[in-house]
């Protein structure tokens, strides 16, 4: 029986994780559920899964949640804030790290320092503090399993010996696939007029608003490139991105002998979640079997950096190293929020990020404090730029 903490339980990954757990009550028990402000949704989850602890983002939300749980006669310790998130992350056997953005870094790092099995859906933890995070994993005997469908596919396509000896595994390239999002075929000059509703309408995946916008700009893929570097020890020159609109091949590994191994499946996050939960075994996920005959054609093309400048900026940040990826991530979070609030346009997102990266010097990612200082600097710079172009 594994005891599970889900960080970000009311988000799309959290909901999918609970769906898989509900199919296997003999294998998994929920220890803690967390959410930022979706109190009613979290209360409903607590009523179904009866965790020992629940964590929210504020004292007001905690009071509201406690009241809802009392009304349902549910016993659950309710707390709030980052310190409480770090506590529950260090308590369970397995931690699903699915808080979106920089807010997920501290609890994910707490799980690593506690030597837990970490199912990592929060890519920002590695984007912002890759070496520091991986050092914490290795030094404390934690187990790190990727949940992003692309990185999970790569993990499944690599030999077991890769973690011990990457040099002897014969890997030539790691190839991340990308759907291209909702604007793959739209004329580039019309992207200035994209609305938040259009950007959030992904053709294949059901995701949160922020991640959906990241997919539309392909910043999501850029962050995944940086994440792949840290997860698999691959330099930027060994990581490729290919657009694959059907989202059937989730990623591939190309070998020096000419072989290419790929992981295929229907576009449903329950597959990588179930794989990581049960690894090295397999469990039923609720996802239907893939029928290639109904798909018919699989298409591939190279990404166009003129259409997707955010992807180019992410490669630039990876090559620059240090805290440059932290600048990239923070500027992107501020710019996407401003776009969703209709204060800036869609194509202003990459312009804000580029200015923050190019107008501020990055430093060494020598400590979490240094990383967070650069994060704060980038957010302040991005907000100033947004204020100057706000509609």
321-389 adopts what CATH topology?
A: Rna Polymerase Sigma Factor; Chain: A (1.10.1740)
User: From start to end of the chain, where are the E strands?
Assistant: 2-7, 28-34, 53-56, 77-80, 94-97, 117-120, 143-146, 171-178, 239-243, 249-255, 260-264
Instruction: Indicate whether this model's pTM tops 0.75.
Output: yes
pLDDT in tens, 114-150: 999 999 998 888 998 999 999 999 999 999 999 999 9
> What separation in angstroms does the CA of 100 have from each of 229, 339, 376?
20, 17, 17
pLDDT in tens, 65-79: 999 999 999 999 999
User: What pLDDT score does 45 carry?
Assistant: 97
Point out the residues of the chain with pLDDT beneath 50: none
CATH superfamily of 2-146: NAD(P)-binding Rossmann-like Domain (3.40.50.720)
Spans of all domains in the chain: 2-146, 161-265, 321-389
Handedness of CA 369, 375, 378, 384 (dihedral sign): negative
């Amino acid at each position: 029986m594994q005891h599970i903490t889900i960080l970000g339980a009311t988000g799309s990954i959290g909901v999918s994780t609970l769906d898989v757990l509900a199919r296997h009550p003999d294998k998994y028990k929920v220890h803690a559920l967390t959410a930022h402000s979706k109190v009613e949704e979290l209360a409903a989850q607590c009523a179904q899964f009866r965790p020992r602890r629940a964590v929210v983002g504020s004292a007001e939300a905690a009071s509201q949640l406690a009241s809802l749980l009392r009304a349902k006669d549910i016993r659950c310790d309710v707390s709030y804030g980052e310190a409480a998130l770090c506590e529950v992350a260090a308590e369970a056997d397995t931690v699903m790290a699915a808080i979106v953005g920089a807010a997920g870094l501290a609890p994910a790092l707490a799980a690593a320092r506690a030597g837990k099995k970490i199912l990592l859906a929060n890519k920002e933890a590695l984007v912002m503090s890759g070496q520091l995070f991986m050092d914490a994993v290795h030094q404390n005997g934690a187990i790190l399993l990727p949940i992003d469908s692309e990185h999970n596919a790569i993990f499944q396509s690599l030999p077991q010996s890769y973690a011990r000896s990457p040099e002897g595994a014969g890997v030539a390239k790691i190839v991340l696939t990308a759907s291209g999002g909702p604007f793959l075929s739209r004329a580039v000059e019309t992207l200035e007029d994209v609305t938040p509703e259009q950007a959030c309408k992904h053709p294949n995946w059901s995701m949160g608003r922020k991640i959906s916008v990241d997919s539309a700009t392909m910043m999501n893929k850029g962050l995944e490139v940086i994440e792949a570097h840290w997860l698999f020890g691959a330099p930027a020159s060994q990581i490729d991105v290919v657009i694959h609109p059907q989202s059937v091949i989730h990623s591939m590994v190309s070998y020096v002998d000419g072989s290419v191994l790929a992981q295929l499946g229907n576009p449903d996050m329950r597959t990588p979640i179930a794989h990581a939960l049960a690894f090295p075994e397999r469990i039923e996920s609720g996802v239907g079997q893939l029928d290639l005959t109904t798909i018919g054609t699989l298409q591939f093309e190279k990404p166009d950096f003129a259409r997707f400048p955010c992807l180019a900026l992410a490669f630039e940040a990876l090559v620059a190293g240090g805290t440059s990826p932290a600048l990239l991530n923070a500027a992107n979070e501020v710019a996407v929020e401003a776009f969703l609030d209709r204060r800036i346009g869609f194509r202003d997102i990459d312009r804000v990020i580029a200015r923050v990266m190019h107008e501020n010097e990055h430093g060494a990612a020598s400590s979490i404090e240094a990383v967070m200082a650069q994060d704060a600097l980038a957010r302040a710079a991005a907000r100033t730029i947004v204020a100057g172009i706000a509609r």
